[in-house]
């Protein structure tokens, strides 16, 4: 039996043409592809599994196996391989007709930020961007800093740092990170200094701080337990670096002044007010600005000297910080000297890290009497501060009111320490008597 096929049918001719074109194209493509094999290693020669190898300009690519080996088809003999891996710099390797290529990847120091150690585990930086904030020394607020946390005031979203008594050098900053947690309990964040929880910010000099990390998320602060319900602030202090000894000095001088004073009557205006209203004034002949008598224009200063150095095994850092802060009133001041020595060394083939940290702070403080400012606004401007013989003015113990009845009064009493050398005024019970 003979079978006849009619190839003259137009549809069959088209199918035959498409088949031939596809077959020839596939054979040409197969002839132009080159199989490239090899291994991917790091700078130490260790194999890297899971490395992505892509053919540049296409979507074709493979991943290295557990031994770092790979096999990929490259169109032509002059293709380019794009090799990428977490923690390493992306590298482009030209094929140049080679059939076997050994690829060595270099580490990327910046890529260390891709993984962040928080609590008991690891998380990618992109997942905790809003939970962890880091402020380096070069980004700190400049100027004369009385409280370490004012270094990062306005630098971290969600962290509120305020100083209600800004002119008082003995008043610390108030800060809030995650809001109130209890009605009466402490709702501030936990302070961790060089890995030690519960540190006191007043024991370290602001100039000795290298960085401040703020942990706002519960998972980021989980390792510190219930103490971290208000967040965690981690302070890392400066340490020595390998190299020749380096001596550094920094200093600041600043002054404060009252932006706007109360508009008070002078002694002459007070006397004139009594005369205009037919009133008798208990006139002592003075023209005293009592607010001026209890305030000043304070000049504060900070000086810091540090020495650091070392080698690959041992490094050291030592500093002395002197701070002299003056308050707006004539009593308040704070003089502080802080000394720090830090030594870090490695032993037993770098298997043992030894760290020594010694810090000592001397504080001499004189606290403010806030009532003196208020009383200075009540004291009569016709009273002098001192008598003619140089002694402080004292109001008589008994006075009479406008009807002749005796009234007890309060003598002018001292404010603050003796070294202040001035007295806080108290108001008289009567100021005028109608004639």
Domain that holds residue 418: 267-291+370-434
For residue 85, the tally of other CB atoms under 10 A from its CB is: 23
Q: What is the 3-state secondary structure (H, E, C) of 262-330?
A: CCCCCHHHHHHHHHHCCEEECCCCCCCCHHHHHECCCEEEEEEEEEEEECCCEEEEEEEEEEEEECCEC
Q: Are 335 and 356 contained in the same domain?
A: yes
* 32 pLDDT above the threshold of 90: no
**Could you give phi then psi for residue 177, rounded to 5 degrees?**
-115, -45
Q: Are 250 and 328 contained in the same domain?
A: yes
Q: Are 172 and 247 contained in the same domain?
A: no
pLDDT on residue 29: 42
Structural domain includes residue 122: no
Q: Are 392 and 325 contained in the same domain?
A: no
Q: Are 62 and 138 contained in the same domain?
A: no
In angstroms, the Cα distances linking 121 to 117, 141, 191, 285 are: 6, 32, 21, 77
Residue 22: pLDDT band with limits 50, 70, 90: very low
Cβ-based neighbours of 23, under 8 Å, separated by 6 or more: none
Q: Are 360 and 374 contained in the same domain?
A: no
pLDDT on residue 409: 45
Candidate from 80-89, 147-156, 215-224 with smallest mean pLDDT: 215-224
Mean pLDDT of the chain, nearest integer: 77
Assign residue 88 the CATH number of its domain. Answer: 2.60.40.1120
Assign residue 184 the CATH number of its domain. Answer: 2.170.130.10
Q: Are 142 and 223 contained in the same domain?
A: yes
The residue among 343, 366, 389 that closes a domain is: 366
Q: Are 219 and 153 contained in the same domain?
A: yes
pTM of the model: 0.60
Q: Are 141 and 227 contained in the same domain?
A: yes
In angstroms, the Cα distances linking 220 to 16, 57, 397 are: 67, 41, 65
* Structural domains counted in the chain: 4
Q: Are 353 and 413 contained in the same domain?
A: no
* 42 pLDDT above the threshold of 50: yes
Give the model confidence (pLDDT) of 265-280 as tens digits: 999 999 998 889 888 8
DSSP β-ladder status, 190-193 and 232-237: parallel
Q: Is 200 exposed, middle or buried (0-12, 13-18, 19+ CB in 10 A)?
A: exposed
Q: Are 210 and 96 contained in the same domain?
A: no
Q: Are 15 and 91 contained in the same domain?
A: yes
Token digits of residue 283: 């006139």
């Amino acid at each position: 039996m003979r079978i006849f096929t009619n190839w003259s049918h137009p549809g069959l001719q088209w199918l035959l043409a498409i088949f031939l074109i596809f077959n020839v194209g596939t054979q040409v493509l197969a002839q132009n592809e080159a199989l490239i094999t090899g291994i991917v290693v790091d700078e130490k020669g260790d194999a890297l599994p899971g490395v992505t190898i892509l053919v540049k300009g296409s979507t074709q690519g493979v991943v290295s196996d557990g031994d770092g080996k790979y096999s990929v088809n490259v169109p032509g003999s002059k293709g380019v391989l794009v090799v990428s891996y977490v923690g390493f710099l992306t590298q482009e390797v030209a094929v140049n007709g080679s059939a076997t290529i050994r690829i060595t990847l270099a580490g990327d120091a910046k890529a260390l930020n891709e993984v962040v150690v928080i609590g008991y585990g690891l998380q990618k930086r992109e997942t905790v961007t809003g939970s962890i904030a880091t402020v380096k020394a070069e980004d700190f607020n400049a100027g004369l800093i009385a409280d370490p946390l004012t270094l990062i005031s306005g630098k971290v979203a969600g962290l509120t740092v305020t100083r209600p008594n800004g002119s008082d050098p003995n008043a610390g900053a108030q800060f809030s990170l995650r809001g109130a947690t209890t009605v009466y309990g402490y709702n501030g964040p936990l302070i961790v200094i060089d890995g030690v929880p519960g540190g006191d910010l007043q024991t370290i000099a602001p100039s000795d701080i290298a960085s401040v990390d703020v942990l706002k998320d519960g998972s980021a602060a989980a390792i510190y337990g219930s103490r971290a319900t208000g967040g965690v602030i981690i302070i890392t202090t400066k340490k020595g670096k390998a190299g020749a000894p380096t001596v550094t000095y920094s200093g600041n001088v600043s002054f404060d002044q009252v932006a706007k004073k109360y508009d008070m009557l002078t002694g002459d205006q007070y006397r004139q007010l009594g005369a205009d209203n037919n009133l008798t004034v208990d006139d002592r002949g003075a023209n005293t600005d009592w607010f001026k008598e209890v305030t000043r224009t304070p000049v504060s200063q900070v000086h810091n000297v540090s020495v650091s150095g070392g080698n690959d095994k041992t490094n050291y850092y030592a500093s002395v910080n002197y701070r002299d802060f003056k308050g707006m009133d004539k009593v308040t001041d704070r003089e502080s000297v802080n000394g720090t020595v830090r030594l870090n060394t490695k032993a037993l083939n770098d298997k043992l890290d030894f760290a020594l940290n010694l810090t000592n702070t001397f504080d001499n403080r004189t606290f403010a009497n806030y009532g003196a400012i208020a009383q200075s606004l009540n004291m009569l401007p016709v009273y002098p501060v001192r008598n003619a013989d140089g002694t402080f003015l004292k109001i008589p113990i008994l006075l009479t009111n406008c009807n002749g009845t005796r009234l007890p009064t309060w003598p002018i009493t001292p404010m603050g320490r003796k070294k202040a050398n001035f007295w806080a005024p108290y108001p008289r019970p009567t100021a005028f008597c109608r004639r």
